[in-house]
Chain A
């Protein structure tokens, strides 16, 4: 076994990652649908951060702090959360295609949010709260259902059973969503827009909720990095070296379902982030989860921020749905990396 100090990243590397992420974030704040002078943007940002008052470009002040910054923050946090979930799930299930979508958690969360929209479930004054609560509940519920079904079939919760049932449940939840959409009448349009995945109208509250969820549940997942490494060798092996297999599995899966539920309710369904980023990063960090999982946070944030930048600017003044960009860019990159890594063998 490697020495502890060499297992995770060292401080300089974290600083480097943070610097890169902040640089990408700054780029995404400075460039947008409306072109603003970068110096004005930076001035507004600086004033916002320090609370200083000063003569600023009024247009920049109206756009940067209330509209663009919260969106970029939400995009970064959603990207980080989804990528972390994908990375953890791929390790846990030892399946390169594991993701919130293949496990059925995303579809479950979507079903919850679609239900909330279709039946007008909302908490007054909090436009997103209704669908968020429902998405998290349904993500939990679908996970509980998937796990209990899997447990019935196979009490060791083997990865094969879970992913099979996850896939089946995913289809089931999607069909119920479609059914609800069919009967949703006037609200069809709004649901359709929402399922395309959009981070328009993100607020600081959204960012705060995402940050809280990521700090708490994402922290727990990252804390399980060593156990996930043991899983990579094999479940029996992990059990033999003293890992409480079932507890780790449950912890990781529950954390993932909360994270995905929150993300889905804020942004709709954004495909491919959780699947692609961990694969791309694995070629840099190697398979060690103590390196991979923290890296997915930064990588996912950067990937989604850049995708959102394209979505916002490519067809000005129109916006593209974010899911379209991530799927397009993601699949290209995925094929490239997959091909290159196969060729190297």
Chain B
């Protein structure tokens, strides 16, 4: 009996350790995975821009293009039943005026409000092939992170065309938009959306007087849950450079947990938080202002704090331009026009 107990206790301890380690590894793996995928993707993006996909004439014959994973895709006709797993792809579809083709969305898609009426399916690492097949879409839009070869095979056997959309930078977003536009037979809309974004960004770049001497700090997760900041290679970093600002954590690749001490030492001139506010307690801006030891950070002394609550700068979608505009207004005051 005693031996049995010891065995059980040992097994439990082992199980606890394993789950602990698994959790950690998962987390670490995810980060590196993203970084690697990011590099890979950038390379692919480059090769992609070298040989742009030539869309066939509209409405006639099959459409062929290369997706962002480098796979040749052929569609018999423009897609009219789509499941999109990532929030940014849903946003692109709506921005192209193709929101009505969505028959399913990933669980975290929440913009625009209409998308919430579309049936939701599990996404990311929980991607559920059965749910997707049941919706009988013609095309499944997913990100490179979410796929396993088995899943893709199962989906394609069910007659669903898998298209990978995975933007890592603003160039990548343009590519995703024109690729989705091609697949939807909405090339013109895609082109004008990309032009609109480019114009906005150009205007911001032109009007921005910053020379990189002023600094900005992007807070992705508030202090209560561990301070996470945006480093280089993020959309936030890209937009900061567009505005002539230097990201205080440019020496860090991707997103990472940082210490309060680092923020205090790096003394940013502007602080942007994307923390959600649930309508009780301190607002994210108030919470940051009230942190002890942060009083002498220039951004806090000058009240230069901005709360972006709607994922404008964290999603590779068309609303990046809204985020950039909001940031411009915040930094320079007044509109870009």
Contact = CB atoms under 8 A, between A and B. Distances in A.
Interface stretch (B160-168, B206-214, B250-258): B250-258
Contact of A317 (B5, B23, B223, B259): B259
B154 interface: no
B202 to A, nearest CB: 33
A201 B262 contact: no
Interface size class of B (residues with CB under 8 A): 35 or more
Contacts of A65: 293
Contacts of A271: 16-17, 20
Counting chain B CB atoms within 10 Å of each CB, the highest count among A32, A65, A190, A275 belongs to: A190
B336 interface: no
B30 to A, nearest CB: 10
A31 to B, nearest CB: 11
A59 B296 CA distance: 9
13 contacts: A62-B296, A63-B265, A95-B5, A125-B282, A127-B281, A170-B12, A186-B276, A192-B27, A201-B224, A318-B258, A319-B257, A321-B24, A321-B257
A324 B24 contact: yes
A196 interface: yes
Interface of B: 1, 5-6, 8-10, 12-13, 16-17, 19-21, 23-24, 27, 221-228, 249, 251-252, 256-262, 264-265, 276, 278, 280-282, 287, 291-296
Interface string A315-334: 00111110110010001000
Given A63-B261, A122-B280, 19 more contacts: A33-B261, A67-B260, A67-B261, A120-B280, A127-B287, A167-B12, A170-B16, A186-B276, A195-B23, A196-B24, A196-B27, A198-B226, A200-B226, A200-B260, A271-B20, A317-B249, A317-B252, A317-B258, A321-B24
Interface of A: 32-34, 58-59, 62-63, 65-68, 95, 97-98, 101-102, 120, 122, 124-125, 127-128, 160, 163-164, 167, 170, 174, 186-187, 189-196, 198, 200-201, 203, 271, 275, 312, 317-321, 323-324, 327, 331
A297 to B, nearest CB: 24
Contacts of A120: 278, 280
Contacts of B264: 34, 59, 62-63, 67
Contact of A331 (B17, B228, B278): B17
B5 A194 contact: no
Nearest to B296: A62
A193 B225 contact: yes
